[in-house]
Amino acid sequence: MTYKRRKKKTNVYEQVTERIIKALSNAQGSWVKTWKSAGGANLTLPYNIVSKNNYRGANLILTFCSGYSDPRWASYKQWKDNNCQVKKDEKGTKIIKFDTFVINKGTDDEEIKWYIKQFSVFNAEQVEGNVPSIIEPKEDQSFQLSDIVENYKKRENIRILFGGNKAFYSPSKDAIVIPSYDDFNSEASFYSTLFHEMAHSTGHKNRLNRPGIGEKFGSHEYSKEELIAEFTSAFIMAYTGREDDMSFENSVEYLRNWSTKLRENPNWAISAASKAQKAMDYILGIQ
């Protein structure tokens, strides 16, 4: 009798984590260099041509770092339904979505379980045909970074103190400490650091209440919180279109250093990216 060897069960978290690590390893230039429209600071983030929605969380990272400079994406079927054809031998970019299934259906023990599905999308540069025109932002996105900070500061009644040579957030005092603006090499470097600390502040118990706030350096939750904060900073700089090559490289290098931790904890990347998206929305006041 011949027995078939059972295939090793695919771990979606591990696969996505490896793709994010690979994307960060290959990243060059700026998160947003190729995404600026003619308006300069206006930014069209990667989006689906059918839903018209921007990709978020881990999917934002996976599409941003895919190597394509066009923001338009869709599945094979979606392109086909729009009278476009994916070019021969083109490979899709795998992204994820959460879905549910029911166990013990119809019984007292019925329970809904969440799981992650992977599927492929293709960039507009990979297709032929009458590709829909790029959608310009619905409203002016010529953000003043200082306004983002001031609006958050006033809304949350949080203190931001300038001076010294360290940047940190104190949950007990609900205060951010950061070196003076002139101590940084560029505006983007200053704000990417400030947004990192603001991201930490969103985890305060009276805000998004994340468990890593106030944990000791090197602990499991502290490490995860640092990853969330850096993703948040990168997302905001990308969203506003104000990243420069130096701050981008600093951010990417910071995230590259997490490769070992991410491989040891394969669910971190997806979880941290999701929580970073919520932190960004909270800072910007996006409902």
Domain ranges of the chain: 31-129, 145-284
What would the mean pLDDT of 213-240 be, rounded to a whole number? 80
**Per-residue pLDDT averaged across 156-166, rounded?**
95
139: CB partners within 8 A, 6+ apart:
none
pLDDT computed for residue 249 by the predictor:
62
Structure tokens at 97: 């979505």
**Banded pLDDT at 141 (limits 50, 70, 90):** low
pTM reported for the whole predicted model:
0.74
pLDDT at 7: 43
Task: Give tens-digit pLDDT for 3-60.
Answer: 444 444 457 777 777 777 776 666 544 443 333 333 333 356 889 999 998 898 889 8
For residue range 206-219, what is the model confidence (pLDDT) as tens digits? Answer: 999 998 787 665 57
pLDDT of residue 153: 97
pLDDT at 41: 34
Cβ pair 22, 60 in contact under 8 A: no
Average predicted confidence (pLDDT) for the chain: 81
Res 227: pLDDT: 87
Instruction: Using CA atoms of 170, 175, 180, 185 in order, give the dihedral in degrees to the nearest 10.
Output: 60
Task: Say how far apart CA 234 and CA 192 lie, in whole Å.
Answer: 7
Do 266 and 14 touch, CB atoms closer than 8 A?
yes
pLDDT digits (tens, 9 = 90+) for 175-194: 999 999 999 988 888 998 99
Q: What is the pLDDT of residue 93?
A: 93
Q: In what order do the strands lie in the sheet with 168-170?
A: 159-162, 175-178, 168-170
